[in-house]
Structure 1
Amino acid sequence: MSTVSNKGIIFKAVPEGLPNSNVHFEVVHHKIDIKNLKLGENDFILRNLYLSLDPYVRLTMKESHIDPVMPSQAIGHVLSGIGVSEVVKSNNPNLKVGDLVYGLIGWEEYTHIKTDAKKINDIHFKNINYHKKLLKEVPLSYQISLLQLSGLTPYGSLMALGKPKAGETIYISCAAGATGHLVGQIAKIKGLKVVGSTGSDEKVDFLLNELKFDAAFNYKKVDLDKTLSELCPNGIDIYFENVGGKTLEVVLNHCNRFARIPVCGMISQYNITNQKEKYGVKNLDSIIHKSICVHGFLAMDFIGSQVEKDFETDMLEWVKSGKIICKENVIEGIENAGKAFTDMLVGNSVGKSIVKIADYYNYL
């Protein structure tokens, strides 16, 4: 192995509104000489296998400024996101050739990582080589769609912040998305009445007939206030928030006293760059007199906690036993990541959107 293709996607410009794959992204055809590339201390090279397409990446497509939690994408450079990769060259004491790694990679075929050795096995890069034995039981792609942060997000937020109790009612917006479809299934396992909304009749069918939600509806075809009155006659105990804006305003009117609202995202507001155009929720005072707990979070908040340990045990057991269905929308080829990303933002996909960059052959 020496000089090979290293096709990738460059971030060209900060979007004003919804990103356009032909305007804000550019496919570039680079080469990488793996054999002769000199590695610095702790450096390693990854052959990228799967890339996760996540809504949070839209929030990083902004003018450059210091943000330790969600740093900006650098214009003129390869975009970055969470992925699963195979180590093909290493000068890092914690990684050897053939190891599988989960962490922040480039939207490209190969990524040269320059890092601190101490960052291996934390949120930056996690050696998941011990999970190779799982390849006989679950697909490798599940590492980014179910078994790592993408699964910890719904599990941790629902269990730690939603505090579900059997018999309660949960309403989930974007219920057929990467996080929502898992939240609903976990809630069903915990004995809740599960109501979800989504943006197409096809997705409603998926929620009702495959995931066995108690109720689901196409929000584009109904009056949300009236529909929630019909489907949640006893009110809402947990609202899993993915949308924000007008939807949050309506839902607050249906929340019971002591309701919990884990705020995973507000995707309706992500592509509004003018702050004056963002929707101003008018009934936030109801949070006070209803004693509602509204809690924003990042999946990293649960790293190292008992919730993460419980997640690793529960999720693997549920997926092996068939209690959890992991719906993946797999796009082939890194060159298609830009369009797939914008499709995901506007809801033109079901489940978790991931890009398959390369095949993985090392099953030993």
Structure 2
Amino acid sequence: MTSENSITRVLANKYSPSGAPSLDNFKVVSAPAPTKDSLKENQVLVRNLYLSVDPYQRGRLTGATNSYVPRYELNEPISNFGVAVVEASTSTDIVEGDIVYIKVAPWETKSVADAAAVRRLPHSTIDNARDFITVFGMASFTAFVGLTTIGKPKAGETILVSSASGAVGQIVVQLAKARGLRVVGVAGSDDKVELVKSIGADAAFNYKTCGTFTEAIKQAAPEGIDIYFDNVGGKFLDAALANINFGARIVSCGMISQYNVKSADEAYGLKNTFNILIKAAIFQGLFLPKYAGTQVESDFVTEVGKLYKEGKLRYRIDETTGLENAPQAVLNLFDGKSFGKSVVKV
């Protein structure tokens, strides 16, 4: 759909307040390509290279106006974190050829943005641009914040990580192992379980074939759970609560099992919350924007950067090629088809 004079865009087509989203939520269209001549003062014309695909985008398709992130507006481009190369600029700070990070990158092949809305990546090239929305991206930062500020890990403790092969989980597994924890990972296929083991988990199991969740956790962690890093919610969260130790910390990062329920009656009601009381546990939600620009973010860049440079950190990426295929990449997050951190190569 893209030519020299046109671009591809992915628009929000309709809202789905409940139930599973579908391709009907999106609309892929062509539009006239922006040009250098259209730039106003302190603007840049960018060609998008990679766009991040993340579970939180489901909430932006509900149409709700009371969320911590704004809903997508119908007939406007979907947006998310992205990296791009600057093709033209009227700014003295951002120049042609710079690789930039865009926090709110419209899902279109080329875009015009205010220079103040992009961040130049001084050590980036087209070859390594993807790293800034994957291993150094939002999901990895989420893993670091959740583990260090809520989990407060101590060597010798046991951590249980759900969705351990996913964008967040695979970083949690490796950072926890580096801190001397016993790591138990959970994933949704045998291939994913093997990945979790290969990146350092001491034990891992397939939640789809393990039988009773409570017993599977007990078998993998017979001495109990000190930290549970929750990415799924629902029935598995309940089983984890049944296995927590005194003083446990539960990091509530995501509840993907509950995102597409059709009604309140279909939502899973937790039964083991009494354990939070009698085990003096901490159950805390993770709000990432609170830590942006703080020392925690600096620590994240330092630690993850060092591990990655030394080859001590592996990161599986699920890459979709072509912006026109981006809607399916979003849907793949919710049916187990994605494997690792999902991105779109524009």
Q: 1:270 aligns with which of 219, 241, 259?
A: 259
**Are 2:138 and 1:149 equivalent residues in the alignment?**
yes
Name stretches of at least 5 consecutive residues in structure 1 with no aligned partner: 358-364
Q: TM-score, length-normalised on structure 2? A: 0.93
**Are 2:223 and 1:234 equivalent residues in the alignment?**
yes
Q: TM-score, length-normalised on structure 1? A: 0.88
Map 1:155-304; keep pairs closer than 5 Å.
155-208=144-197, 210-222=198-210, 223-304=212-293
> Residue 336 of structure 2 aligns to which amino acid in structure 1?
G
What residue is the counterpart of 1:361 in the other structure? Answer: none
- Pairwise CA distance, 1:196: 0.8
- Pairwise CA distance, 1:272: 1.9
Moved over 6 A (4+): none
Q: Distance in 1 between matches of 2:309 and 2:335?
A: 31
Map 1:1-364; keep pairs closer than 5 Å.
4-15=5-16, 16-21=18-23, 23-37=24-38, 39-63=39-63, 65=65, 67=67, 69-102=68-101, 103-113=103-113, 115=114, 120=116, 125-128=118-121, 130-132=122-124, 135=125, 139-208=128-197, 210-222=198-210, 223-357=212-346
SS at match of 1:348: coil
What residue is the counterpart of 1:360 in the other structure? Answer: none
**Contact 2:247–2:279 (8 Å) recurs in 1:** yes
SS at match of 1:131: coil
- Pairwise CA distance, 1:93: 4.9
Cα pair distance change 1:243/1:33, threshold 3 Å: closer
Deviates more, 1:5-14 or 1:58-67: 58-67
**1:280-330 per-position Cα deviation (integer Å, ceiling 9, x unaligned):** 212223212211111111322221222211111111110111110011111
**1:41-98 per-position Cα deviation (integer Å, ceiling 9, x unaligned):** 443322100000000111111225265x300001111111111112223334542222
What residue is the counterpart of 1:362 in the other structure? Answer: none
SS at match of 2:242: helix
Instruction: Percent identity, please.
Output: 38
Q: Distance in 1 between matches of 2:179 and 2:71?
A: 38
**Contact 2:99–2:129 (8 Å) recurs in 1:** no
> Residue 220 of structure 1 aligns to which amino acid in structure 2?
K
Cα pair distance change 1:245/1:318, threshold 3 Å: same
- Pairwise CA distance, 1:246: 1.1
> Residue 202 of structure 2 aligns to which amino acid in structure 1?
D
Root-mean-square deviation (Å): 1.9
Q: Distance in 1 between matches of 2:254 and 2:78?
A: 21
Q: Distance in 2 between matches of 1:91 and 1:231?
A: 58
- Pairwise CA distance, 1:252: 0.6
**Contact 1:3–1:35 (8 Å) recurs in 2:** no
Q: Distance in 2 between matches of 1:42 and 1:64?
A: 33
> Residue 192 of structure 1 aligns to which amino acid in structure 2?
L
SS at match of 2:22: coil
Q: Distance in 2 between matches of 1:206 and 1:66?
A: 37
The total of aligned residue pairs comes to 341
Q: Distance in 2 between matches of 1:66 and 1:5?
A: 36
Deviates more, 1:99-108 or 1:235-244: 99-108
Name stretches of at least 5 consecutive residues in structure 2 with no aligned partner: none
- Pairwise CA distance, 1:229: 1.1
Deviates more, 1:221-230 or 1:294-303: 294-303
